[in-house]
């Protein structure tokens, strides 16, 4: 299970995501100091980091 919250403010130039995995009490926070007005591109790095976390043994 993943619990999370995002923040997206392209005109101010940032995106953020806070993820929590209760089973392992793992928190991951990603803050970027640049934002893209294309919403799909704005969260590119967060998506990739989330994929790495899910494929790792961090959550076991």
Question: Would residue 60 count as lying in a domain?
Answer: no
pLDDT tens readout for residues 3-59: 999 888 777 778 889 999 999 999 999 888 876 677 677 778 888 988 998 899 888
Domain total of the chain: 1
pTM of the predicted structure, to 2 decimals: 0.75
Question: Would residue 51 count as lying in a domain?
Answer: yes
Q: Which two tokens stand for residue 51?
A: 């994929």
Q: Which domain holds residue 50?
A: 3-55
State residue 57's pLDDT score.
Answer: 86
- 45: phi then psi, degrees, rounded to nearest 5: -70, -40
């Amino acid at each position: 299970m993943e619990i999370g919250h995002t923040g997206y403010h392209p005109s101010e130039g940032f995106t953020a995501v806070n993820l929590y995995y209760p089973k392992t009490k793992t928190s991951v926070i990603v803050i970027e100091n640049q934002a893209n007005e294309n919403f799909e591109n704005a969260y590119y790095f967060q998506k990739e980091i989330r994929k790495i976390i899910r494929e790792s043994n961090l959550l076991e």
